[in-house]
Chain A
Amino acid sequence: MQMTYVFTELKQGLRRNVSMHLAVVLTLFVSLTLVGLGALLKFQADHAEEHFGKINQVVVWLCNDASKASTCTGKVSPAQKAAIIKVVESNPEAKGYHVESQQTAYDKTKRLFGQQYQTKLPADFGPDDLRESVWIDLKDRHKAAGIMSAVQGLDGVDSIRDSRGLVGPIFKILDRMQIGSLLTAGILLMAALLLVANTIRLTAYARRREIGIMRLVGAGTLYIMLPFLLEALITAVAGVALAAIALTSFEYFAIIRGVSDLRLMPWVDWTDLRMAVTAAAILGPILTVAPTLLLTRKYLKV
């Protein structure tokens, strides 16, 4: 196959439609960046879930000596605890549970809040100041009313914490940001597809005489399509490259040199970024080459 013609046409095609190609590249750049951000937000949500524990958990705090709830008459007795656990075990909304002792709670507090925070606590702060707890895993994160009302009011129960209420807003924000960025990306990707389609139509029209002659003298379909495909591939590579630069800058400036100092939760790292860029790198060429293949078959039918 003689490639001289293909490369000459490619060069001419890129020059002839420079503004259209720029529009495709910029649209691809923005939409692929948003797709990448959507992926990063998904990874961030995964990290947050891992860190904060499962969202579908309800924690039952049992009484200690300092509890003031009406159901508390001092530290929870073994009999009260057994009755509470029996209620949990028999409830259909519970998938499982584990009991966290006062000592475990103390160790966890020390580990989570670090040395600096502990210095602000009274010197005699110890396991007895914390409460024993029952951590209930729910079968369905939307169904917890039954088990909460069953446990509420039992002797030995100090209070109930619905983890969903605590961690829920964080996930809600992440979920909404993810949906928002993916929706915007979807609309922009549609714009990119239409731009690619328009570019092909214009190019096919501008080159209708050459294409007509090529068809008549027996040039193969692939040979006729090749300049179009290469044009599409070049715009895709440019769009992906710009999106990769934008995502890398976001990771470096916004995460690593930005929020990562806030030790609220583990943040998305370079591995996550690599996956987001890979997604953009796969999506970009598909978005330009697929419509090119379809439309050139339509416009350049042999």
Chain B
Amino acid sequence: MIRFEKVSKTYPGQSHSALDTVSVDIEKGEFVFLVGASGSGKSTFLRLILRESQATDGRVHVAGKDLNRLAGWKVPRLRRQIGTVFQDFRLLQNKTVAENVAFALQVIGKSRSDIERLVPETLELVGLSEKSERMPDELSGGEQQRVAIARAFVNRPMILIADEPTGNLDPTTSLGIMKLLDRINRTGTTVIMATHDAGIVDQMRKRVIELADGKVVRDEARGAYGYEN
């Protein structure tokens, strides 16, 4: 599903690489935690998958496509296969919960009937059916993140990228979000989650890829947040 082949990325004007000859294979349906200190290269890793930036060296393959060779006009089509969730939710404050979720479908040209079917279905999945007409500022942090997940998943993407989705949430709420991501993963969606939350990584026992100074320093199948002695 995702393959990094000796990928390096150096941003213009920077002397050291954000990613340094990284090689990683992520299979379809996997759940992967991406861990590492701030500045270790996690965000760059995610940006390369989304084709928000391009590798300086090496090859990035996503959903069977070589992103180095992907024409600019084909990028939107690639992104329709990837859902993205952020720490700060990024909801549109002037739209209701349902409208926020529907927005992701409207702007890629889905039909009204598809939208009317998929939005309630997805809100049901994230447990927000009752709050579909609420505005984002009427919701708790955990609920807002659920809306963000619903928006990312409503188009049934093959890959879900979550960049510190529990960063702003308390432990109990974070657990609820993780359960939701796990449920989405069990539908066959590949989930890649960048996090600093040791408790969650240790509890979930999924694959862990650790980055340090742009290099992969650990890749464990059922890993913990830190090294286990």
Binding site for B on A (CB under 8 A): 1-2, 4-5, 209-210, 212-221, 223-224, 302
Asked if A213 and B79 make an inter-chain contact with CB atoms under 8 angstroms apart, the answer reads no
* Residue numbers in B under 8 Å from A219 (CB-CB): 76, 107-108
7 contacts between A and B (CB under 8 A): A4-B106, A209-B90, A213-B151, A216-B84, A217-B80, A219-B76, A220-B108
Task: Give, as a whole number of angstroms, the nearest-CB distance from B43 to chain A.
Answer: 14
Contact string against A for B residues 61-96, beta-carbon threshold 8 Å, 1 for contact and 0 otherwise: 000000000001101111111111000001010000
Q: Which of B47-63 contact A (CB under 8 A)?
A: 50
Q: Which 6 A-B pairs have the closest CB atoms?
A: A218-B80, A218-B79, A219-B107, A217-B104, A218-B76, A214-B107
Point out which of B81, B107, B108 has the most chain A C-beta atoms below 10 A from its C-beta: B107
A210-B92, A212-B90 known; A217 and B107 CB under 8 Å? yes
Most chain-B Cβ atoms within 10 A of its Cβ — which of A212, A213, A215?
A: A213
Expressed in whole angstroms, the minimum distance between the Cβ of B111 and any Cβ of chain A is 8
Residues of chain A with a CB closer than 8 A to B84's CB: 216
CB neighbors of A among B17-58 (8 A): 50
* CB closest residue in chain B, given A302: B75
Give the CA-CA distance A216 to B155 in the complex, in Å: 12
User: In the complex, which of the residues B78, B79, B80, B109 contacts A223, with contact meaning CB atoms closer than 8 Å?
Assistant: B109
A216 engages B50 (CB within 8 Å): yes
- Measured CB to CB, the nearest residue on chain A to B110 is A2
Task: List residues of B whose CB falls within 8 A of some A CB.
Answer: 50, 72-73, 75-84, 90, 92, 103-104, 106-110, 112, 151, 155
Most B CB within 10 A of own CB, among A2, A209, A217 = A217
Asked, given contacts A209-B92, A216-B84, whether A2 binds B104 with beta carbons under 8 Å apart, the answer is no
B155–chain A nearest beta-carbon distance, Å? 7
Closest Cβ–Cβ distance, residue A302 to chain B (whole Å)? 5
The answer to whether B90 touches A213 (Cβ under 8 A) is yes
A contact residues around B108 at 8 Å (CB):
217-220
Cβ–Cβ < 8 Å partners of A221 in chain B: 73, 76
In Å, the complex CA distance between A218 and B104 comes to 8
Distance of B72 from chain A, by nearest CB (Å): 7
Nearest Cβ distance between residue A192 and chain B, in whole angstroms?
A: 30
- A216 and B148 alpha carbons, distance in the complex (Å): 12
State A210–B104 Cα separation when bound (angstroms).
Answer: 10
Closest B residue by C-beta to A220? B76
- The chain B residue with its CB closest to the CB of A5 is B106
Q: Which residues of A contact B151 (CB under 8 A)?
A: 213, 217
Contacts of A302 in B (CB 8 A): 72, 75-76
Residues of B within 8 A of A214 (CB): 107
Contact across chains for B104 and A213 when beta carbons are under 8 A apart:
yes
Contact of A2 among B76, B82, B106 (CB under 8 A): B106
A216 and B79 in contact (CB under 8 A), knowing A210-B92, A302-B72?
Answer: yes
Q: In the assembly, what is the distance between CA of A302 and CA of B104, in Å?
A: 16
B86: nearest residue on chain A (CB-CB)?
Answer: A216
Extra 18 A-B pairs, beta carbons < 8 Å, given A216-B79, A218-B78: A2-B109, A2-B112, A4-B106, A209-B90, A210-B103, A213-B90, A215-B79, A216-B50, A216-B84, A217-B108, A218-B77, A218-B80, A218-B155, A219-B76, A220-B109, A221-B76, A223-B107, A302-B76
Task: List A contacts of B155 (CB < 8 A).
Answer: 217-218
Residue of chain A at shortest CB distance from B155:
A217
Question: A2 vs B90: C-alpha distance in the bound complex, in angstroms?
Answer: 23
- The distance in angstroms between the C-alpha atoms of A214 and B107, with both chains bound, is 7
A112–B43 alpha-carbon span in the complex (Å): 85
- How far, in whole Å, are A1 and B78 apart by their CA atoms in the complex? 18
Give Cα distance in the complex from A92 to B158, angstroms.
84
Nearest CB of B to A226, in Å: 11
Bound-state Cα–Cα, A1 to B112, Å: 11
Check A217–B92 contact: CB distance below 8 A: no
**A107 CB, nearest partner CB in chain B, Å:** 72
Instruction: Report the bound CA distance from A5 to B76 in whole Å.
Output: 17
Q: Which of B76, B83, B103, B112 has the largest count of A CB atoms less than 10 A from its CB?
A: B76
